[in-house]
Chain A
Amino acid sequence: MRDYRHGRGKPRTGWEKNSQIQRRSLTCFNLGFTSTLFRPHQYRRLPPPVAAMPQGDYIERHRKLHGYRHDHFERKRKKEAREVHKRSAMAQKALGIKGKLFAKKRYAEKALMKKTLAMHEESSSRRKVDDDVHEGAVPAYLLDRDTTTRAKVLSNTIKQKRKEKAGKWEVPLPKVRPVAEDEMFKVIRTGKRKTKQWKRMVTKATFVGPSFTRKPPKYERFIRPSGLRFNKAHVTHPELKCTFNLEIIGVKKNPNGSMYTSLGVLTKGTIIEVNVSELGLVTPAGKVVWGKYAQVTNNPENDGCVNGVLLV
């Protein structure tokens, strides 16, 4: 704060003040130490004139030399006791997004507290466990012998080939919402008078391969904008439960139609083939697996990324 009361109306700035203090202290200092007239031991018991220069550990040092305030512990205890009331006031008064966030956090805290309390209340004494016994239960050595059927052990590849032939797949999302054509395409008007409407622009995410080149613009009917093209997918392994960022090799099938499959449109439920060489999978024969199918599980145009689940 600038003090305008002193001096002839000139504000005393902080810098001036400091220099004045410094000057004062310098003179005290000089008197004490550079003069050789006074014998040093006369000043042995005088306290230092002003507080000493604080060093890096000044807080601990002050505590060591002077201890705490006389009411320090009481104040601390009371402040901590007041926190409870403050928190509840905040919880009641907070509005809007802050209120919601706070409520969520608080709910999580309370749930955790309840769990720990329940844990503490669990007694460590052992109790007898009663297992219900079924009526008519018979021990294994009294069972009748069943007829054995001869089952062939089939390899995984053969199973997959059979499934492919049948056209039946076990996928995580068996049913998806159908996407209408007007939702999928946007009509582009062309021509000098903008009357021709035969061009369509795809509004969903697409995959075009690395060797893709456009048809001459005059003849291309379906425009797949480059901003909506994706090359990589975040694929989760269902058993390992971890996600990898894998390259897309191609679109296998789009549930909305074969046209979309040929265009390479990625919507929810599309089966894509991804490059799994990263995972280091090996067939029983010893060959390295580098391509596997995955199903898209989100709407890539809404999320900006393609998420999928690996089909094992």
Chain B
Amino acid sequence: MEFSTKNRQLLSRIATNDRHGENSPYFDGWKAYDSNPFHLIHNPDGVIQMGLAENPLCFDLIEKWIRENPDASICTAEGLDKFKDIAIYQDYHGLREFREAVAKFMGRVGGNRVTFDPNRIVMSGGATGANETVIFCLADPGDAFLVPSPYYAGFARDLRWRTGVEIVPVHCKSSNNFRITRAALEEAYEKAERSNINIKGVIITNPSNPLGTVLDKETLRSLVSFVTDKNIHLVSDEIYAATVFSSPRFISVAEVMQDMDCNRDLIHIVYSLSKDMGFPGFRVGIVYSFNDDVTNCARKMSSFGLVSSQTQFLLASMLSDDEFVGNFLRESSKRLAKRHHVFTKGLEEVGISTIKSNAGLFFWMDMRPLLKEQTTKAETELWRVIINEVKLNVSPGSSFQCSEPGWFRVCFANMDDKTVEVALDRIREFVLQGKEENNHEADKSQARAQRWRKQNLRLSFSSSRLYDESLMSPHLISPHSPLVRART
């Protein structure tokens, strides 16, 4: 149905600004994937999706559990007698069994060093909804949060769009493995205050996206004491907590608080099952605050994003199965470790290094040696080459607000083993090709410049294909799931 847009209806400022984040150039990578997706048999030359942080490695375990537990569904013969009660249940407290199961799961993921209180578990529409809800509770339009960079690209939308709150990045550097230092926090805080920006808190992601590293006890203690000193909030997004696959172990901010003098009213955790269990479609977001007022407020706000009671019921059953959970967590770690190892070893062999990481669904790859100059522009050019020539959709560090050009986030869990091999082969070929060309020229820098010019020429030819309007059907774009061809 076409309607006249001559008499364009005026929409709100929120509706017409750019803070939904989708006009970012980084979606070009996904557009390239969408228009030419890799398939081992049907399209072996297509673009391999390495920009999507999904965790499908243990679905076989989950499917087995579902087959063996038909009463966890309210729609099967075994569970139908509960259908009516569950279908009616819209209490924003959430099913008690669900909250208990999630609290227990969060405790297990933290190595059982903390007990989480089911009465503090508040639901939200995924971690996306949880982060937004927390900001609505803590800050007014115009306030700001310090966020150590590099950070998850979606924060620009989730924390800012409808809340009107700002992000002040705290730039971390590779020289100390991107650690968050007290000095960096203090500096960012002072600078903001001098510019009359009202800092309401700090948001960390632990384990880190995109780094794949965990925060050590010292850093966590330093963060907790920093916010206590400044009387500002600390929001810890622990969505990747169970993706830790080797030591050091995951330490929740909840654990660190236990033996510290701090103001508990300042500490809030965001959690979700999207990454740890691989259930992004089920929209299970959790706000866990140590502040009663925030818990109560977030709970009221959860009316805008409750978890489907059908899903609550299924997960209450699944996550209460101690044996299943134990086995799942063990297997998941094992498989992630193996996948991570295959990749990092393969990259090492061709001289590409990555940040030493032990968590997450991705690694942080160092392509600085391949940049013609250490600038964002050069990084973007390299990125376009990787997408168009190497045909891998990876995420450039600038999309994570990384202050150092040349880093790329590469997701490794969202594909099968054979695709991993193809991806590694392509990277190896690309890197070795570059080295070969260098060896055949007397002047390495001249060779590089030539190579870049050549590629840039090819680039502008192929990028015109990228910008071909017919390929950019906007309805295919979704920032968090390029599974946009709704296959049903």
Q: A and B from one assembly?
A: no
